[in-house]
Amino acid sequence: MSKNILELTNVTKNFPGVKALDNANFKLKKGSIHALLGENGAGKSTMIKIITGVYKQDFGSLIIDDNKQSFSSPNEANKSGISVVHQERNLIRRFSVGNNLPKNNLGLINYDQVAEQSKKWLDIMELDIHPNTIVSELTVAKMQLCEIAKALSLESKILLLDEPTSSLSPQDTKNLFSLLKRLVKEQDVSIVFVSHKLEEVFEICDEVTVLRDGKNACVSENIKNLDRQKLVKLMIGRDEQIIKSKENKNINKENLLDLIKINTDLGHKEISLNLKKGEILGLYGLVGAGRTELIKCLLGLDRIISGKLVLNNEEIKIHSPKEALEKYKIGYISEDRKKEGLILMHDVLTNAGITVWSKLKKILSFLNNGIIYNKVDPYVKKLEVKTPSYKQLVSNLSGGNQQKISVAKWLAAGTDILFIDEPTVGIDIKTKAYLHELIINLSKSGTSIILITSDMPEMISLADRIITMKDFKVVGETMNNHNYDDMSASIMANIHE
């Protein structure tokens, strides 16, 4: 029987107004892949930060290889063989791959040595990349693998992966899993795997620890003893609620928004599509298909070279997201909540209310926090944002709760058209079901939605019609019958034509 390489015993961590961990336990066996699961705000991030030296626990023990440890910094954790790959990539995009990996001990850059050292880890990862390649030139999948190579270059024996597949295609995910299994077997690495995608947990993990409200729902349970239903119940305390859209008979036959032969600075070619009132129009494609980039061009963030954008039969030009919201009632829930969706150093109320300020000012001669609170509070409550107060800085919330705030602010805005980009990345199962219901109800109440998601089951559950994109072009259009086997085959046939 494998011994435990990492243990947390009766660990408690308090923050103002919140007990993030309450006598929590965790045991990672040497040579295993162990899932750490729980809803947003359950304590997963706090546990990872204690393991990696970002936080110190208030009570309890951290044990590495049978020795009690107390790390004061991530650097100390690195020296003990612990590395973490975060959901948000930490590579310096304008540097080469080699310069993102280790340097010589003098701290001076010896480029030949950098290339030689880097190649060793790139070879282990089976990455056919020259160390001098600039990171910004890589695909998203290769950036993610370079993050893991960077962690291994520190000679880590414990690797923590936080939502590693959130921006990967199905094929890239499959490749990553093959690699992780090989790392465990050949490089003697033990892995902690954090994900909200339970199918991935069952595919790759040996054991599971579940946190709920900072406490253990289970510790080191063998994955063979669980099925999806049992695991969901451990995470949320009840059975999973699966939301599926039905045929929406309220969709208006006339087009609300038309894109006519749109060409952009970013490389989109002859993009033509339409959106009807009350419709959920899905944009599906593999990473790099140009879906998010298209939305940004429509919002004026990048340039449309030619073609027409027509709203209610009138040609329009949008110069900024602010103009899109205030003049045309078009909103955008960004996939990149930290850079585009939120102001991290401001509080929850400011972030949730930012989209309603102009609207409220037109109605009222003054604004105060009470007025803004009354407008946004129903949406923050419905999304079950876990925060001690509306004065809490958004940067102090978990990633999932940040995403909820990013969604809540646009729900409060009451737009006619809403572009929604990867709405449930990093979101727990319970909130995912609620967001699906919310999106469906928004469309039924007349809001028109363009939905981008790389989660094919999510796309097939929600969309009324699905446009498939590849290489910045439209390559297919399918009416959605919500039958997964039919629709997934049709979509992938369009992509591989």
Q: What is the pLDDT of residues 220-243, one digit of tens each?
A: 999 999 998 899 899 888 777 666
Q: What are the structural domains of the chain?
A: 4-236 (3.40.50.300), 255-496 (3.40.50.300)
> Tokens at residue 3, please?
């011994």
Q: Is the pLDDT of residue 412 over 60?
A: yes
Residue 54 has pLDDT above 80, yes or no: yes
Does residue 321 or residue 100 have the better pLDDT? Answer: 321
For position 409, what pLDDT does the model report? Answer: 86
Q: Strands 417-421, 304-311: parallel, antiparallel or unpaired by DSSP?
A: unpaired
The answer, yes or no, to whether residue 122 has pLDDT greater than 90, is no
How far is Cα 384 from Cα 400, in angstroms, rounded to an integer? 11
Write out pLDDT tens, residues 2-27. 689 999 999 999 987 788 999 999 99
- What is the spatial distance between Cα 36 and Cα 192, in angstroms, rounded to a whole number? 7
Most confident of the ranges 186-190, 372-376, 460-464: 460-464
DSSP states of 331-370 as a string? EEE-S-IIIII--TTSBHHHHHHTTTHHHHHHH-S---HH
Buried-state track 318-332, b at ≥16 Cβ within 10 A, e below 16: beebeebbeebbbbb
Asked if residue 385 has pLDDT above 70, the reply is yes
At 242 the pLDDT is 67
Q: Is the pLDDT of residue 110 over 60?
A: no
Q: How far is 141 from 169, CA to CA, in rounded Å?
A: 8
pLDDT score at 374: 82
Of 408, 463, 398, 449, the closest CA to residue 428 belongs to: 398
Mean pLDDT of the chain: 85
Q: How confident is the model at residue 29 (pLDDT cuts 50, 70, 90)?
A: very high
End-to-end CA distance of the chain: 49
pLDDT of 248 reads: 65
Note whether 80 and 72 are within 8 A (CB).
Answer: no
Q: Are 72 and 104 contacting, i.e. CB atoms less than 8 angstroms apart? A: no
Residue found by looking up tokens 């729900």 in the block: 411
Assigned token pair, 235: 């995470």
CB of 243 within 8 A of CB of 440? yes
Number of neighbours of residue 222 by Cβ within 10 angstroms: 10
- Beta pairing partners, 8: 26, 62
Confidence of residue 106 (pLDDT cuts 50, 70, 90): very low
Is the pLDDT at 249 greater than 60, yes or no?
yes
Q: Rounded to two decimals, what is the model's pTM?
A: 0.69
